Amino acid sequence: MYTYFFVLAALFYAACAFLPSKQHTAISTGTLIGWLLHGAALWVDVIGHGVLRMGFAIMLSGALWISVAIYWLENRNFSLDGLRVLVLPSAAIGVLLPTVFPGSLIPLDGKSALFPWHIAIAMLAYSTLTIAAFHAVLMALQESKLHTRLSVQKTGWFALAIDRLPALLTMEKLLFRLIGIGFFLLTLTVLSGVVFSEELFGKAFKWEHKTIFTMLSWILFGVLLAGRRWRGWRGKTALSFTLTGFTTLFLAYVGSRFVFEVILHRSLA
């Protein structure tokens, strides 16, 4: 039954992505309906009958679910119509990924009650930093256009989306807001994983691939926020740290799961 929710959510996202920008109410309502359907489908698919379903497709779908929520909320404060035609088509595709790549099942029997919360916070952290990286790419495209002074033909949805983006200063404020929230959630993820490792995972804390890459990502985002506060870092420095930190986090979670599940056809808990 939840598969139909994924499909319906994809249809709502796709429809709202290409509606005329003047239809604000229809876009906002349709996006909210698609987001609710998407969330309901993820909830039923991920948590069901005493097991937890995890995989790279579910994590990407969850990241896009958070991305849509952030776009919908921030669009009420800023004019982000340019983001609409970028975020929603991506979400329309991403929402269907769990139906193609179902991932692996993790039994919850014997697991601590903290375990689902740890996973949820980790997912929120990853999702927030994913949209921050996407946001940084858009800023890089904006900045490149300004510096090179190249004329961009206003044909095609992508070119129009770039032209509709808010000013760079506004985009930068949004970027650091996203990074701040993501870093806070990632800090909770790291702390809970280190302090409650044995209770959460049934084994003592140890340094492994996922842990090392997560810690590296946490350090990079922490250095970026510190540099922003005390050295006024911005522009290319901020974009470089953001994309490097996200790439590291991607390798820790989605990248490793993609290699195991799709390329090696193995389960990774």
- Domain-embedded: residue 115: yes
pLDDT the model gives residue 41: 86
- Domain-embedded: residue 59: yes
**DSSP assignment string, 178-230:** HHHHHHHHHHHHHHHHHHTHHHHHSS-----HHHHHHHHHHHHHHHHHHHHHH
- Domain-embedded: residue 269: no
pLDDT the model gives residue 191: 83
pLDDT the model gives residue 125: 86
At position 168, the amino acid (one-letter code) is: L
Q: What separation in angstroms does the CA of 256 have from each of 31, 59, 99, 201?
A: 31, 12, 19, 18
- Domain-embedded: residue 111: yes
pLDDT the model gives residue 254: 57
Domain span at 144: 2-263
CA gap 115, 231 in Å, rounded = 38
Domain count, the chain: 1
SS3 55: coil
pLDDT the model gives residue 217: 87
pLDDT the model gives residue 4: 81
Alpha helices in the chain (DSSP H): 2-17, 24-46, 56-74, 81-94, 97-100, 114-148, 157-164, 168-195, 197-201, 209-231, 235-250, 256-258
pLDDT the model gives residue 14: 93
Helix 114-148 / helix 81-94 crossing angle, nearest 10 deg = 130
- Domain-embedded: residue 233: yes
Question: For each of the chain's 269 residues, which pLDDT tens digit applies?
Answer: 567 888 899 999 999 988 887 888 899 999 999 999 999 888 887 776 667 777 778 878 888 888 888 888 888 777 777 778 888 998 999 889 888 887 777 776 766 677 777 777 887 888 788 888 888 888 888 777 666 654 445 555 566 667 777 778 888 888 888 899 899 999 998 887 776 665 555 555 566 667 788 888 889 999 999 988 888 777 778 888 888 888 888 777 655 554 444 444 554 44
Phi-psi region at 49: left, alpha or beta (left = phi > 0; alpha = psi -120 to 50): left
Give the H or E element holding residue 52. Answer: strand 51-54
Length of the chain: 269
CA gap 205, 207 in Å, rounded = 7
185's tokens: 């959630």
- Domain-embedded: residue 156: yes
Say if residues 79 and 110 touch (Cβ distance below 8 Å).
no
Say if residues 139 and 71 touch (Cβ distance below 8 Å).
no
pLDDT the model gives residue 193: 75
- Domain-embedded: residue 256: yes
- Domain-embedded: residue 268: no
At position 223, the amino acid (one-letter code) is: V
CA gap 36, 56 in Å, rounded = 21
